[in-house]
Amino acid sequence: MIRPRPRLLLPIVAALGCGGAGMTATPDYHAAAKEFFRVVYACEPPGVDAVAADSVVLSYPIFDSLFGEPAIRGRRAVSEFSAHFCSRWSDPRITIYDAVQDGNRVVLVWGFQAVGPASDAASGATAPSVQSWGGISYFRFDDQGRVEAEIGEESTPGPAARVGGTL
């Protein structure tokens, strides 16, 4: 009968389980992606400086029809976009249904709900209403842990809502 030698395994297990010498932990980009999403879309535009790289790129299909360009480029442009977005929507509620990290990349499956203007075509008047949509966004981070790209797809209903809100 062969008996394990715990004394030989202990240093190996300790090195692997406790981040032994020379090993570095991967940063928590999940949290950083969620923070970026919250800052930009839950109305905290001053926080963009802390979470976005100088040359950040933000792209969603709707940008082409809204801005005539498929992407917003640069920290200042993203901050201005956030301020404008937040002037249009109130009481934003973000739900992160899933997050997957691979190295310095993260994918979020998210839902968004807020109060925004709704048009009444018959009278021409607008009245606030709760609106919602969702999407899937890809984030890439620079060496400083700041977002250098957010590339997303959005739809109504969003991906999680199409399957009953559970992933």
Sequence-distant (6+) residues with CB within 8 A of 17 are none
**What's residue 21's pLDDT?**
47
**What's residue 81's pLDDT?**
93
How many other C-beta atoms can be found within 10 angstroms of the C-beta atom of residue 49?
14
**What's residue 114's pLDDT?**
93
100, β-bridge pairs: 107
pLDDT in tens, 135-151: 999 999 999 999 999 99
**What's residue 93's pLDDT?**
94
**What's residue 3's pLDDT?**
47
| Residues 116-123: contacts with CB under 8 Å, at least 24 apart | 116/88, 116/89, 116/90, 117/88
Would you say residue 126 lies in a domain? yes
Would you say residue 20 lies in a domain? no
**DSSP class of 163:** T
Would you say residue 74 lies in a domain? yes
Would you say residue 5 lies in a domain? no
Would you say residue 2 lies in a domain? no
Per-residue tokens: 79: 């901050």
C-beta of residue 159 within 8 angstroms of C-beta of residue 166: no
- Tally of domains in the chain: 1
**What's residue 116's pLDDT?**
85
C-beta of residue 61 within 8 angstroms of C-beta of residue 69: no
**What's residue 23's pLDDT?**
54
**What's residue 119's pLDDT?**
59
Would you say residue 7 lies in a domain? no
CATH of the domain at 151: 3.10.450.50
Would you say residue 75 lies in a domain? yes
- State the residue range of the domain holding 76: 27-162
**What's residue 86's pLDDT?**
86
Phi, psi (rounded to 5 degrees) for 159: -55, -45
CA distance 55 to 75: 6
**What's residue 24's pLDDT?**
62
Would you say residue 12 lies in a domain? no
Task: Give the C-alpha distances (Å, rounded to integers) separating 92 from 7, 39, 113, 123, 135.
Answer: 56, 11, 6, 27, 15
Chunked mean pLDDT (size 10), the chain, 167 residues: 44 42 72 94 86 97 94 95 90 94 97 81 71 96 96 94 81
